[in-house]
Amino acid sequence: MAMVVDDEFAAIVAGHLETIEERLYTAAVAENPFVTQAATHVVAAGGKRFRPALVVAAAYCGDRVDAEQLVRAALVVELTHVASLYHDDVMDEADMRRGVSSANAAYGNSVAILVGDYLFARASSEVALLGVDYVRLQAQTFAELVQGQIAETIGAGPDDDPVEHYLGVVAGKTASLIRTSAVFGGMVGGAPPEVLEALASFGFEIGMAFQLSDDLIDVISDDTGKTPGTDLREGIPTLPTLLLRASGDPEDRRLVELIDGGLDRDEDLAIVLSGLRASAVIGQVRETIVGRADTARAYLDALPDGPAKRALQRRCDDVVTRLS
């Protein structure tokens, strides 16, 4: 019976996500056709839609679901996420995003920044229609996103632990919005305070695991939307490279020397990727991701049993299995 119920629930989620996808394009439309073209550039490239899917599943942990509010809440978080990608790509000087040219590569940095601002404005217009509580949480989340980006930009201080600093960056840049996605869903569904609290804790932990897995995939997979080792070449600290720096293994130290050399040559990047994949630090990162996913799953114990809870539990499994 659970399988039948879950299949029915999956169809409901898919229906909502289809509507959300259509509305994303509508929300990105501007009076100026060029702005519309630039604003739909990243949306059209697709994506996992991880955050909207969380909104949908979390909404059904409550006792009521208003379809329009649900779609609007999902739009807010995804528009905010997409807007942040425009800014991130400018700061990272990225060339690719989701398998296509990044917006800054296609339109230039100034346009990419302004289009990101436009999408943030569109998210603000949508969240205003949900109510003051949603606006307040959205503003708090936006502040966390910005602080996470700033922390990444300035880097760890001389007295900071590099790994803890990095985890703080991930908490601000990624986990905060994923946490808010789960909470928005619960709010839309009329979930009680204890369920909202559990969804917030779950969302934060699954958000941490999700970003850590993305960082690991950048090293171990050749099948992503960007060139493998992009973060390595750009000198962006991630958990694999930070653990590599802390390692006492001579081979790991040799890889660090190559990384610090800039990795301008493709041959050096290939050597580092191969060496990292063979390093013990990959297993350490995997263990960290599994631990975060298990912690996230434990918070779901407070949710009512049913297909929505099981869907969120599967998200914990997915974060780990995508590393296979």
Mean pLDDT by 10 residues, the chain (324 residues): 74 96 94 92 84 97 94 97 87 68 80 92 97 98 95 93 97 98 98 98 98 92 69 87 94 93 90 94 96 98 96 95 82
pLDDT of 44 reads 83
Residue identified by tokens 């695991």 is 209
The whole-angstrom separation of Cα 95 and Cα 254 is 28
Q: Are 135 and 128 in contact (CB under 8 A)?
A: yes
Classify residue 145 as exposed, middle or buried by CB count within 10 Å of its CB (0-12, 13-18, 19+): buried
Instruction: Give the type of residue at 297.
Output: R
Question: Structural domain of residue 141, as residue ranges?
Answer: 2-321
CA–centroid distance for 303 within its chain: 23
pLDDT of 225 reads 54
Q: Are 216 and 192 in contact (CB under 8 A)?
A: no
pLDDT of 97 reads 65
pLDDT of 94 reads 66
Q: Which long-range contacts (CB under 8 A, 24 or more apart) does 122-131 make?
A: 122/27, 122/28, 122/79, 123/75, 123/76, 123/79, 123/80, 123/83, 126/27, 126/72, 126/75, 126/76, 126/79, 127/72, 127/76, 129/72, 130/69, 130/72, 130/73, 130/76
The whole-angstrom separation of Cα 202 and Cα 183 is 10
Q: Are 302 and 195 in contact (CB under 8 A)?
A: yes
Beta strand pairing call for 100-101 and 96-97: antiparallel
Residue 124: give its domain's CATH number. 1.10.600.10
pLDDT of 174 reads 97
pLDDT of 56 reads 98
Q: Are 72 and 126 in contact (CB under 8 A)?
A: yes
The whole-angstrom separation of Cα 175 and Cα 31 is 33
Query: pTM surpassing 0.85?
Result: yes
- Choose among 211, 208, 184: nearest CA to 76: 184
Rounded to a whole number of angstroms, the distance between the first and last alpha carbons of the chain is 30
pLDDT of 233 reads 83
pLDDT of 234 reads 79
CA angle 240, 179, 113 (to 5 degrees): 75
Within the chain, residue ranges assigned H as helices are: 2-28, 33-39, 41-44, 50-59, 67-92, 103-107, 109-128, 132-154, 162-170, 176-188, 193-220, 230-234, 239-246, 250-260, 266-278, 281-299, 307-321
Q: Which residues pair with 100 in a beta bridge?
A: 97
CA distances in angstroms from 309 to 73, 153, 241, listed in the order given: 19, 37, 35
The count of residues in the chain is: 324
Q: Which residues contact 151 (CB under 8 A, 6 or more apart)?
A: 165, 168, 169, 172
Residue 171 per-residue DSSP state? I
pLDDT of 86 reads 87
Task: Specify the number of domains making up the chain.
Answer: 1
